[in-house]
Amino acid sequence: MVRDTHIQTPWGVSAYGAASVKAAPDLVRVRLVVERIEPSPKEAFEAGQANVAGLRSVLRRHDIADAAVSASRLRLSSAWEGYGKEREFLGYKCEASFTIESGNLDGFQQLLIDVVDAGVNRVDEVDFDVRAKGELRAQARRAAVQAARAKALLYAEAAGVQLGAVLHIQDVDPESLGNERYRGHGTGGATAEEDLAPGHVVVSAAVVLGFALAAQ
């Protein structure tokens, strides 16, 4: 059986372009959690508040402003261990989470050591970032447009036609659900290496451009 491969609505050339820009991080975000389990709610709250106060003291010693700290309210829940008949009541757990931003990457290791010593139980997430991400995204988008145009010019040249005006511009996130068809069709694999570059933040962009065909 021969499948019909005719283009239903021929109108021009459509090309996908992708690009990535990498930069050294100048910002780190870390999510910390303080947990304390005590026999009574009152004792749990008191222990949690003491640890929160100790954590904030450490952050001030590291010159981290209060505006760079996002904290949850203290939460109280029952703490259990085991399952079924073996389930044992441990007490009441008081928990608070913090998200901290710091531009001192050189002192970040010591910061983690000090906050753990101050009573932090969990370090849930560490994320390196750049403050100028908007500017880097704009650079990546410009480069993605250039890549799409170069690809369309190549197709037009190979087909013996002239490329016309841009008729359609579509921003694409290749990692989002529904855009799987675009993955692997970017800049010839160059971005894959950048995505794994250690010590760098990679900002990517992608676009689909639609071009008319100019009259011969």
pTM more than 0.85: no
The distance in angstroms from the start CA to the end CA of the chain is: 37
| Domain architecture of the chain: domains with CATH | 13-24+132-214 (3.30.110.170), 27-129 (3.30.70.2970)
Count of other CB atoms within 10 angstroms of residue 51: 19
Position 192 scores a pLDDT of: 43
Question: Mean pLDDT, 10 residues at a time, over the chain (216 residues)?
Answer: 56 91 92 94 93 92 91 91 89 94 92 92 91 94 96 94 93 65 45 53 93 83
Position 131 scores a pLDDT of: 92
In 3D, which of 203, 200, 149 has the Cα closest to residue 21? 203
Position 188 scores a pLDDT of: 41
Position 185 scores a pLDDT of: 47
